[in-house]
Structure formats: C-alpha cells, structure tokens
Amino acid sequence: MSESCFAGRENFMENIISYIKDWGRYPLSERPFNEVDSLILCQLVYLNYEKFVPGWEEKKEPVSIQSIYSHPERDVILDDYWYRQNNKELFSALAESVRFGRLKMNAYVNVINEEEETQFSAMTYFLEDGSIYVAYRGTDATLVGWKEDLNLAFSKPLPSQYLAVKYLEKAAEAFEGDFYVGGHSKGGNLAVYAAMNCREETRARLIKVFNNDGPGFRPEIREQGNYSAIEDRVIKFIPRSSLVGMILENHGKYEIVESWGIGTFQHNTYTWKIKDGTIVRAKNMTSAKIKRDAALNEWILSLSEEEIHLFIDTLYDVISASKASDVFEFGADLKKSLQNVALAAREVDDGTRKTLQKMIHSLFEMMLENMKGGLFQS
C-alpha cells in the first residue's frame, strides 16, 4: 500500500531518487545546497540509525553515508519504516554519489514514550561547506504517532516540541557554523517550532527553515514564540492535495508542489516531482479547497481544550478498536477495520456521544455557511 500510490509510474518518475542519480556527480561546491537536497535529508532521517550514528552521550566522531553503506548489516537501518524499497534505493544512490557519499552524521536521537504519547527523533548532518543541517523526523505509521499528529495541531505545546528546541540548542552549542533546520510532516512543524523558540544567539546562525508539508500552529503558540524573527527564512512546501500541511496554516505563505501521487498519498515525498534541480511548482489550489481548509481550521480553533482532548481521545480509542497496530494494517483489511470501529463507536457513553455530535454539527454549520459563498465550487 505504501508504495503503490503511484503504481505504474516508477519508470518515468522524476523524484528525489532520480535527482540524486543525475545530480549526484556534482559536489556541493559546484552546485550549492538547494531545496531538493534539503528534502532528501528530511526523508533520510526516517531511517533507523541506532546501530551506526552516535548519540549525544557517546561523544564519538560522526559517520558517513558511505561507511554505513559498506557495513554488512546496513539493511537494519530500513527496519520497520515506511517506503522500505524507496528508502533502500535512495540510500544506495546517496552512498554512491559524489554529492552525498561522504556526508557525515552525528547526534542521532530517538525517543519513544508511549505513556506521554511522544515520538521524537532528530539527527545532525555536516555539509562540505561547513554548515550543518538539523533534521527532525516526522510521524511513523503507528496509531500512537497518528494521535500525536492530531495533538500537535490541536493542542498546546507537546513534549516533542520542547525536545526539538532542546536538541537545536544542544547542536548549536556542540557544533560550529551556521545551520539549516528542516523536517517532513511532524518534523516540519518541529523545525519551525524549534527555530522560533530557540535563543537569539542560536537564531542568528540560522540560514533557512524547511517545512515540508508539516502542520501549522494555533495562533497563541505562534505568538508565544518569536515567529516574526524567522518568518523570512521559513520555506514551506505543500502538495496540491495537502491535508497535514494545511492544518492550522493561516499565513498563506507556501509553495505548492506537483506530485505523482493521488489524494493523501501526495504527502509521500517520493511522489514530489523534481526537475532541473528544483521541486516542481504547481498552479494554485482551487478556491474550493482553500475555503474547505479555512472552514476546518475555523472549527478547530472554535473548540475548547476540553473538547479537543475528548475528540482526539475518543477518536483514537475507537480507531484502536480496529486492532490494527499501524495505518497500513488498518488499510490492509479496511472492511474488517471499519466493522471493528463501528462496534467500538456504539460503546461510547451517551454524554460523550452527545458532545461529539454537537462538535461535528458545528463543523457542518461552518461548512454550510461557506457553501453559500461558493465553497464547493471549483
């Protein structure tokens, strides 16, 4: 399921893998670091480097992509992560390239706390021009990760966001040079959050912040941080059918990406079109989608904190009743999963059900109000 969103197109797709096969012969000194290179590093951080890349406490020298690739147990980095075959092909192309083969990595962190519903992972890359790149991992396929994504958009700052700031400050203290910060999905949100909440002296060394289809922030969180100090350095990419990246996106400052994917599968970075060393831009979204996104965000902001937690917790409990461990397992037998979800929904107590019905009713009212203004017209 994870790699079939563009089935039949692999042979002529121009994506981050074809980019590195083409541009891999050029060192960064010849063709400077760009937005596609950033996207690659944000995808690369999804792999499991526990066995190879030192953590903070180890205080060891950074390791290169080539050194990991030459290790007989290199395939363990692919364990349990999305898009295994694509990741394998990408890592192989990077290792064999002039551009990234000698790229070094250090300070790998991977924190999973199911009790706090927190997943946090980050790593630092060292570029040949002396700059560094701090990359934050997005959500994995587990239902706990999915719930954290919802909490990220709906709630006050989460442990993973505080960890992102702490990591960035530690990297700034440990390593010299100016730096980039970036991530995909939740990782993009963490990158922006860390950049706008770090110390002023750390922020002064910031080159750019890359948010690849990550959710936005509630207004009060944006105001608490110093977003205005980094706004001109934030670059946000979203595909035309973006769902995650448009949650609480109220600035309208983003680049729309062309994708080989269909619907929500456009969130997958391997479906983003790459040409001539750049991410291919799409035409503007339809006014209908913009208005639908606005109505959804208006609804989110209308909920009280109590309603938010009730909505997320109940939704998570009901979906967990599908007995699926991750979103792929949920989709593998969708009929069975939905049957289990329907049974669990009947067990929700009357008070909770009435509150949820009221919340959903308010969402539809907003949709209908927008409909009068042409919400569902293309």
Q: Mean pLDDT, 10 residues at a time, over the chain (378 residues)?
A: 45 83 96 97 96 91 96 88 85 97 97 80 96 92 69 76 97 96 95 97 98 85 87 92 66 83 82 94 71 67 74 73 67 65 68 64 52 38
Residues near 349 by beta carbon (within 8 Å), at least 6 away in sequence: none
Q: How far apart are CA 138 and CA 26, in angstroms?
A: 28
163 touches 131 (CB < 8 A): no
Q: Which of 247, 153, 173, 193 is nearest to 181 (CA)?
A: 193
Q: Look up residue 212 and give its amino acid.
A: N
Look at residue 177 in the predicted model and tell me its pLDDT. 95
Alpha-helical (H) ranges within 114-247 are 143-154, 159-174, 186-197, 200-203, 219-224
For the chain, give every domain's residue range: 16-284, 291-371
pLDDT of residue 29: 94
- What local confidence, expressed as pLDDT, does residue 371 receive? 43
What is 16-284's CATH number, 2.70.98, 1.10.10, 3.40.50, 2.60.120? 3.40.50
